Amino acid sequence: MMVLAHRLAGLGHDVTLVVPANDAQAARALGLRVVVLPFDGRSEIHRGHMLELLRAGKNVAFFREGMQRERERSVVTGDLLVAACAGAELLVAPPLLEDVAVCIAEANRQRVAFVLPMPMWSNSTYPSFFFATRRLPAWLNRLTFALTELGARGILPSINELRARLGLAAVRQRPAVSFRRAAPPAFYWLPTLVTPPPPEFGDNHHFTGYWSVPSEVRRALGEATPPPALRDFLDAGPAPLFVSFGSMPVLDEAVLAVVDRVAERRGLRVVLGRGWSPAPLPSSGRVLIVEDVDHDWLLPRCAAAVHHGGASTTGAVLRAGIPQVVASVFADQPFWGRRVRELGVGETLRFQRLSAARLGRALDGALSEPVAARAAALGAELRAAPDGAAVTARIIDGRGASFPIPGSPPRS
């Protein structure tokens, strides 16, 4: 969202960026107007049972506890978002804020667009990530989304409280789901090479290609200059294995021991991205621990990657043209692991079943010559494509006035 805000500002738009507290410093460094929500994503996951549920891959229980947290702060968050959106012509919402954005836009006669990491609206090609990650019949794919919506009804009390404060009538279905009948624009930071659009998606669904991070945003994120220790490590030997679980704080000494054992047996060095994992991890001669680093710079210098399967991390590895092993933790990550395997550019396993034997077998498959060749070829195609964030910004710039308003009659 920071990349898109930066692109829109570059086209002359007056942009307000709403972020959680852990992103506030980087967002402000972009020189945009910033509204900070009252929670910190990095620390939130360590409250209660969240980390335990995350490590166990228990999607439904994790999101149920998350919804309870949202209910506790919904009034404060809702009021901040209402104030942040005042006077805006267009609200651009990520998945977790779809319903709030639609309610605010309905009350103030504003237009809404959505930014999504994967096909998250009912379709016949892909299942809802809550229920399945393997190929299913078309009717069963659609059913998984219906079941997902039944589970999401728990947020309706908070939504209707917000609607009451906005002077709107209560609803019995999520407002964002009802609004889909008006064909609002949805932008996916995905290329069709990686995720072909479902056939029933209309021209309001834009698969723009992967979004690249401009140098100005890299500086704001503190990633503009690679650490000297990392440069020295890369120069001292063959291309290493990159391992990171990103925003999944699951790295501990046991996981590091598994990675170290697999790497030692194959004569591999390792660059390990600590991500959001809080515990200090010891570096060794074979393993270098790094903090946040520019994936676009680092990954092409690596032999392969092992990661959690976040949508953006998967995309960064695909663009780099190196093979990968997705050790998925939860949510949409098994979906991306499956796509990596189907594309023939890597292997996948569940983090909950991680062992030296399983990771070793997956890595051997990923490093095989046919897989490495397919990864390199796909990476070259993806790097040659236009920047998806720039494409998205241009579409919004050119069509903003034609986007629908919630509560208006659907387009004919």
113-139 per-position pLDDT tens digit: 999 999 999 999 999 988 767 789 999
pLDDT in tens, 175-223: 999 999 999 999 999 999 999 999 999 999 999 999 999 988 888 888 8
- Is the model's pLDDT at 412 over the cut of 50? no
| Same fold for the pair 2-212+387-402 and 224-384 | yes
- Is the model's pLDDT at 50 over the cut of 50? yes
Instruction: Name the token pair of 231.
Output: 């440069």
Look at 388 and 51; give whichever has higher pLDDT: 388
- The per-residue pLDDT for 194 is 97
Domain 2-212+387-402 indexed as CATH 1.10.600.10: no
Cα-based distances in Å from 196 to 122, 208, 298, 312, 335: 15, 11, 28, 17, 14
Please state the φ and ψ torsions of residue 60, each to the nearest 5 degrees. Answer: -65, -45
DSSP lists the bridge partners of residue 196 as none
- The per-residue pLDDT for 306 is 97
* Global pTM exceeds 0.85: yes
- Is the model's pLDDT at 171 over the cut of 50? yes
Distance, CA of 395 to CA of 382 (rounded, Å): 20
Q: What percent of the chain clears pLDDT 70, i.e. is strictly above it? A: 97
Mean per-residue pLDDT for 139-168? 92
- Is the model's pLDDT at 357 over the cut of 70? yes
Mean pLDDT, the chain, rounded, equals 91
Please state the φ and ψ torsions of residue 370, each to the nearest 5 degrees. Answer: -65, -40
Look at 281 and 86; give whichever has higher pLDDT: 86
Residue ranges of the domains in the chain? 2-212+387-402, 224-384
Mean per-residue pLDDT for 10-15? 95
Of 375, 266, 258, 385, the C-alpha closest to 324 is: 375
Which DSSP letter does residue 212 get? P
The CATH class, in words, for 224-384 is alpha beta
CA-CA-CA-CA dihedral for 397, 401, 403, 407, to nearest 10:
150
